[in-house]
Amino acid sequence: MINQEEPLPAGGSCLLGSINLSEFATPNGFNFDDFRKTVHIAVIGLNDVLDEGLPLHPLQEQRDSVRDWRQIGLGIFGLADLLIKLGIKYGSPEAIDLCDMIGHAMADEAIKTSALLAKEYGPYPKYNPEAVEQSAYYSKNALGETKQLVKEYGLRNSQLLTIAPTGTLSTMLGVSGGIEPIFANYYTRKTESLKGHDEYYKVYTPIVKEYMEEHGLKDDSELPDYFVTAQTLDYKNRIYMQSIWQTHIDASISSTVNVPNDFTVEQVEGLYMTAWEAGLKGVTIFRDGCKRAGILTTSNSKKEDNDKQDVKDQPKKTLERGMIIKADDNCVGKKRTLQTGCGTLHCEAFFDPDTGELLETYLSKGSSGGCHLYMIGLSRMISLAARGGIDIYSIVDQLKSSGTCPSYAVRTATKHDTSKGSCCPVAIGNALIDMYKEMLDEISDDSEEVIEKPKPAKKKIVAKTETAKCPQCGGNLVFEGGCNTCKDCGWSKCD
């Protein structure tokens, strides 16, 4: 299973758009007429964008693929908000039935609109009428009138529907992303006050805040049971909700099933088997607190146990701005010899023997290497950043953003002996990560030799966890639909 919303051919273009379902909630239920009109307009709009952007793709392979297949991906978001507005519990039989009707209307209208566009502009060049008419998806989702249009005019698009994470879109509009339930009823926001200390505020999810204000509630514990969050939802109900949408989506669905920290390996296996049996094309599991700050702690506070604790359990020191730590002579050194576009490059890195943190880097050229002074300058800057408290992954991320070197590309294509990367900085970054991981493995092996000594069986193992932070504002990140999203500032990144 791969968690992605739009499988594409070589050179394919990801052209996505999403409809906010919560806007179609009325006192009488879901407004299907307005929804169909919106789907019709959106399909036409995405085709217009495709036509406008087709000649702008940089590669001929891309232009050919977009022209031949004309793939678009119309989807939805705000599903959880819609269900709350209608008083329907996420994952309930009533919710599944409603999603089935909405999905069917969306698919039929999208297919019909694509057929009408084919009537005006012709079908996509690779259109195969027999394959379309024989597909189970087409048979299930196209109604009689739509099938007649397709039979007569064909289809303008080879793919029409997908459901993306919509992390940024949903945050901008204050609604739930994709087909996900609301992540939590509230978040805790930290602000720096003028009083010299941080202040924390409970910030409610917009739909929750709106309901509480309208009904005079003081706490989210007073909310009705149809306010379901990702943490309280049974994973099987989450899978069933996605499976009903998948029957109406011709591409795929990007989604995240959030599970508690104590979710077992057996439960993970059960979740994936349930997803496969339900016909899902892809799904991601995100276990609460899976990013660990430490490995083991014990309830025994004796000094001998503390001395044997894994070094990774020790709190990381935070440097004040402008502070540069010194590298002691007892650093552990490692070396990699790299082959670049200009010749040989020697990369030496020195790490803290206790924490494994990078402290210094030295770069030198071989007999036929590149610019010696450039390498000296780069190695000094890497070392300064590392001793200034910048973590190695942030340093390497900058190195890997350097682009492609023509000399590197030529040698890679002709001699096939270059080190992994597209230029010297990228190759150096890969080498640093390789040595860093090797260093951590050695530290871990040394620690396990101590931890695995015979001890009284009275220990309680506890996993320490921490929440990932937003790189822009420092707020807590929420993992939804395959993307990390900050609910404070709207920053989002999808893997």
Alpha-carbon span 402 to 13, nearest angstrom: 25
Question: Any bridge partners for residue 95, and if so which?
Answer: none
Instruction: Kindly state the average pLDDT of the residues 398-417.
Output: 88
Q: Hey, how many other C-beta atoms are within 10 angstroms of the C-beta on 385?
A: 18
Cα distances from 42 to residues 6, 15, 39, in angstroms, run 17, 12, 5
Distance from C-alpha of 224 to C-alpha of 221, rounded to nearest angstrom: 8
- Report pLDDT for 102: 98
- Can you give the pLDDT at residue 258? 82
User: Do 254 and 482 form a contact (C-beta atoms < 8 A)?
Assistant: yes
Q: What is the dihedral of CA 364, 365, 371, 377, to 10 degrees?
A: -10
Q: What is the DSSP letter of 421?
A: S
- What is residue 391's three-state secondary structure? coil
Is pLDDT above 50 for 454?
A: no
- Rounded to the nearest integer, the mean pLDDT of the chain is 84
* pLDDT over 80 (residue 73): yes
Distance CA 88, CA 95 (A): 6
DSSP-derived secondary structure for 15-34 = -EEEEEGGGGEETTEE-HHH
Each residue's pLDDT tens digit, 112-124: 999 999 999 999 9
Distance (Å, rounded) from C-alpha 333 to C-alpha 312? Answer: 20
Among candidate residues 13, 481, 399, the one with its CA nearest the CA of residue 230: 481
Question: What pLDDT is recorded for position 276?
Answer: 92
pLDDT range class, residue 195, cuts 50, 70, 90: low
pTM, 2 dp: 0.61
Contact 15, 70 (CB under 8 A): no
Do 6 and 37 touch, CB atoms closer than 8 A? no
- What are the distances in angstroms from CA 467 to CA 1, 172, 293? 26, 22, 9
Contact 269, 429 (CB under 8 A): no
Would the pLDDT of 257 be above 80? yes
Of 47-56, 187-196, 214-223, 394-403, where does mean pLDDT reach its minimum?
A: 187-196
- The pLDDT score that the predictor gives to residue 450 is 45
Closest CA to 107 of 221, 250, 11, 283: 250
- Count of C-beta atoms within a 10 Å radius of residue 172: 11
SS3 484: strand
**pLDDT in the model for residue 479:** 66
In the predicted model, is pLDDT for residue 150 greater than 80? yes
Across 87-96, 181-190, 191-200, 418-427, which has the greatest mean pLDDT?
Answer: 87-96
What is the structure's pLDDT at 135?
94
Residue 326 to residue 340: CA distance in whole angstroms: 31
Tens digits of residue pLDDT in 327-363: 888 899 999 999 998 889 999 999 999 889 999 999 9
**Partners of 257 in the beta sheet?**
285
Closest to 345 measured CA to CA, from 432, 433, 440: 432
More confident residue, 94 or 292: 94
